[in-house]
Amino acid sequence: MAITFHYEAGSLQTDNRSGCNLLQLAQEAGVHIEARCGGQGTCGSCMVVLGTGRYRVCGEIIEVPPRQRREALACQSFVLGAEAEIHLLQRSLISTESARISESFQLPLFDRQPRFTTGCGVAVDIGTTTVVAVLVRLDSGEILSCQSMYNQQILKADDVISRISLCSEPAGLKTLQRLVIDHTLNPLISQLCADGAVEPHEIVHLCVAGNTVMLHIFYALSPVSIGVLPFTPLQRCFESTAEKLGIAINPSALIEAVPAVSGYIGGDITADMQLSGLANRRGCALLVDIGTNGEIAFWDGSRITACAAAAGPAFEGAGIMCGTRAVSGAIDAIDFDRSLDFKLSVIGESEPIGLCGSAVIDFIAAGFRCGLISMTGRFDIGMLRTSGRYTSVNGAHACVIHRTHDSAKTAAIVVTERDIAEILKAKAAIYSGIKTLLAESSRTVHDLEVVILAGGFASYINLDNAFELGLLPALGTDRYEVIGNGSLAGAIALLLNRQLADDYRLLIDRPYVIHLNRTAKFTEYYQEAVVIPNLCPE
Ligand code: FES
C-alpha cells in the first residue's frame, strides 16, 4: 500500500503500516513535520491536507473523493485504503531558515580580544521555543552565516515547567539534551558550515546564552531544583567541551555559556543587561525580554530588580493554529478596518504560509479598534459572516485571513478565538510582571525614562498595537529602545572578547530577584490584564 507525500520540493512514497499515524509514517520516510505537542492532537502544528483516499481521523472513518481535499492533523490520522495522497503544508514542515536573523540583533561596540584568534566560533541563543545560531570568523569578527529553527524539545513539552518535570527521570533529561543538540544544534551547525564554506573541525569555540533551565539541560545537568522552592539552580556558570556534549565541531572546542543570574533569570537577561548598559542609565529604566520565558529587569538608579513572567510560546508563533516563525512566507504585519479587507505584509513577499506573533498582535489590536474583537477576545460573528470571513476550526470561531486557490499547497490561514486567548494570556503575563516589578520598588510606569525591548520578536513588533493591546506600557514610542536579540549578541560578544566573561560574572550577582508567584499583587494584576487593553491603572 503506497502513501505519497507531496511537498513543495517534490514528493516521496512510503508503505503504510497499520497502527502508524501519518505523522509517524512521514517521520520514518524522512519528512519532518512539526509536532509541538508530541502527537497528542492539541497543538495543531502537524496539519496536512488529505487527498483522495480512505482514512480514520480522530476515530471517525472518512472518505475523500477524487479531486477533493480535507485538512486533518497528521498525528490523529491513519490511512485505511490501498493508496493515499497527502499534501504537506509548508508551515507544518520543520526547517532551518536564515531570514531576518542578522537584522534582529545589535552588536555592542567593544575591543576585540577573542580567546581563540584563529578558526571560527559559533554563537547560539537557546530559546525555549526557537534556537538561533551564528557562525563567526574569530580573527576578523566577520559573521559568515545565520540560521534558526524551533527548539526540537517542543516535541516533548512547550514550556520550561513541563521540561523540568520531564527531567525528574534521568532518561527524560537525556532525551531533552539530545533533542536540543542532535536534532536542533547539530543540524543548524551543518547548515551554517555549508553556507559559510567552513569545515566543522574549524569551529574551536562555541558560546551559548539562554534561560537557566535550557542551559542546565544543554549541559546535561538536572534542572529539577529550579522547579521547587527556593528555585535554586545547580550552577550559574557553565563550561564543557564539544566532545563531552556531542556537538559536531572540533572535539576539543570550548563550550562556554553566558552565566545566569538565578533559576528563572537566565544568561539571556545577563547578556541583555550588559548589552543595554542597564545599570549605567541615569534614570529609571526597564528591560523586557519578550519570549516564552519573559524576563524583566528594572533599574531604579541604584538597584536592579528582576523577575520572570511565563508568557508561553505564542509570541514566537508556536501554540497558534496557523503560527510560524519569522521565516520567508510568514505574515509579519496586518492592518484593516471594518471592511475586513486585510492588508498583509509577508516576509520575502512570497505566498503566505502562516502568521508570526507580531501579525497576531496587529490582528487583535486592529480587530479591537474596529469592533471585530471584544475586550474579552471574542469575535463579532455577524461582522465575520457579512464579510465572508467566518469559519469554524475544531469547534472554535475563526476569521479567515488568507485563502489560496491551490489548497494542495497552502490551506486557509485563520485566527481562532483560542489563538486570541493564547496571546491575551501571554501579554497579561508580561504586563502584570512589569507592574509587579515596579510596584515592588514603589514605582509606576510613569517613572520610567526608558523601556528597553529585547528578544528577536521585539524587533518586529508594532509598538502602537502593543500599547493598544496592553502588552507594554503606553508611554509613547520615543521612550522605547529596541536592542533585539540581546542573548545572541551577548553570545557573539563573548566569542570575540574574553574580558566579557569577567564582566558577566560580576553582573549576575547584582539583581535582586522577585518571584512573581509569591507576590499577591501579581495574580491581581494578571486577572486585570487578560482583557484588551487591560483594566489595571497605569
Ligand atoms: Fe499533531 Fe500536535 S503534533 S496536533
Output the pLDDT for position 315.
84
Laid out side by side, the sheet with 77-79 consists of 60-64, 53-57, 77-79
* Ligand 1 atom 4 nearest Cα: 41
Output the pLDDT for position 410.
47
- Identify any residues that bridge with 61 across adjacent strands, giving them in sequence order: 56
Identify the burial level of 412 via C-beta atoms within 10 angstroms of its C-beta, where 0-12 means exposed, 13-18 middle and 19 or more buried.
Answer: middle
Whether 401 contacts 344, CB under 8 Å = yes
Output the pLDDT for position 103.
58
Cβ-count burial 71-88 (b if 16+ within 10 Å, e if not): ebbbbbbbbeeeebbbbb
CA distance 303 to 280: 11
Cβ atoms within 10 Å of 363's Cβ, excluding its own: 26
Cβ atoms within 10 Å of 188's Cβ, excluding its own: 22
pLDDT tens profile 449-461: 999 999 878 888 9
What spacing in Å lies between the alpha carbon of 466 and ligand 1's midpoint?
29
Of 73, 88, 156, the residue with max ligand 1 atoms within 8 A of its CB, to mutate for a pocket test, comes to: 73
pLDDT tens profile 263-289: 999 999 999 999 999 999 999 999 999
Asked whether 48 lines ligand 1 (CB < 6 A), one says no
Output the pLDDT for position 452.
96
Q: Helices (DSSP H) in 242-338: which residue ranges?
A: 242-245, 267-276
Q: Which helix (H) or strand (E) holds 131?
A: strand 130-137
**Which residues touch 112 (CB under 8 Å, ≥6 apart)?**
141, 496, 497
Output the pLDDT for position 408.
47
Asked whether 44 lines ligand 1 (CB < 6 A), one says yes
Nearest atom of ligand 1 to the alpha carbon of 40: 2
Write down the mean pLDDT value for the chain. Answer: 89
Task: List the one residue out of 343, 321, 323, 320 whose CA is nearest residue 333.
Answer: 343
Of 42, 152, 156, 394, the residue with max ligand 1 atoms within 8 A of its CB, to mutate for a pocket test, comes to: 42
CA atoms within 13 A on the CB side of 45: 26
Whether 206 contacts 189, CB under 8 Å = no
What spacing in Å lies between the alpha carbon of 125 and ligand 1's midpoint?
25
Asked whether 45 lines ligand 1 (CB < 6 A), one says yes
Whether 525 contacts 435, CB under 8 Å = yes
CA distance 283 to 298: 11
Cβ atoms within 10 Å of 478's Cβ, excluding its own: 7
Output the pLDDT for position 317.
77
What spacing in Å lies between the alpha carbon of 32 and ligand 1's midpoint?
13
Nearest atom of ligand 1 to the alpha carbon of 73: 1
Asked whether 35 lines ligand 1 (CB < 6 A), one says yes
Task: List the one residue out of 318, 317, 298 whose CA is nearest residue 308.
Answer: 298
Task: List the one residue out of 214, 262, 217, 286 whose CA is nearest residue 439.
Answer: 286
Asked whether 72 lines ligand 1 (CB < 6 A), one says no
C-alpha cell recorded at residue 179: 533533542
Whether 278 contacts 285, CB under 8 Å = yes
Whether 307 contacts 514, CB under 8 Å = yes
Distances (CA, A) of 339 to 57, 342, 360, 385: 36, 8, 18, 12
How would you write 58-116 as a 3-class SS string? CCEEEEECCCCCEEEEHHHEEECCCEEEEEECHHHECCCECCCCHHHECCCCCCCECCC
CA distance 313 to 299: 27
What spacing in Å lies between the alpha carbon of 155 and ligand 1's midpoint?
9
Domains of the chain, first to last: 2-92 (3.10.20.30), 120-268 (3.30.420.480), 276-313+423-487+501-529 (3.30.420.40), 314-417 (no CATH)
CA distance 367 to 362: 8
Nearest atom of ligand 1 to the alpha carbon of 39: 3
Cβ-count burial 240-277 (b if 16+ within 10 Å, e if not): bebeebebbbbeebbbbbbbbbbbbbbbbbbbbbbbbe
Output the pLDDT for position 45.
78
Asked whether 27 lines ligand 1 (CB < 6 A), one says no
Output the pLDDT for position 409.
47
Whether 430 contacts 311, CB under 8 Å = yes
Low-confidence residues in the chain, pLDDT < 50:
99, 407-410
Whether 154 contacts 36, CB under 8 Å = yes
pTM confidence score: 0.83
C-alpha cell recorded at residue 35: 509536532
Listing DSSP states for 338-372 in one string gives: TT---EEEEGGG----EE-HHHHHHHHHHHHHHTS
Asked whether 319 lines ligand 1 (CB < 6 A), one says no
Give φ, ψ of 513 to 5 degrees. Answer: -95, 130
**Which residues touch 2 (CB under 8 Å, ≥6 apart)?**
13, 14, 15, 16, 82, 83
Listing DSSP states for 195-249 in one string gives: HHT--GGGEEEEEEEE-HHHHHHHTT---GGGGSTT---S-SS-EEEHHHHT-SS
Of 24, 45, 93, the residue with max ligand 1 atoms within 8 A of its CB, to mutate for a pocket test, comes to: 45
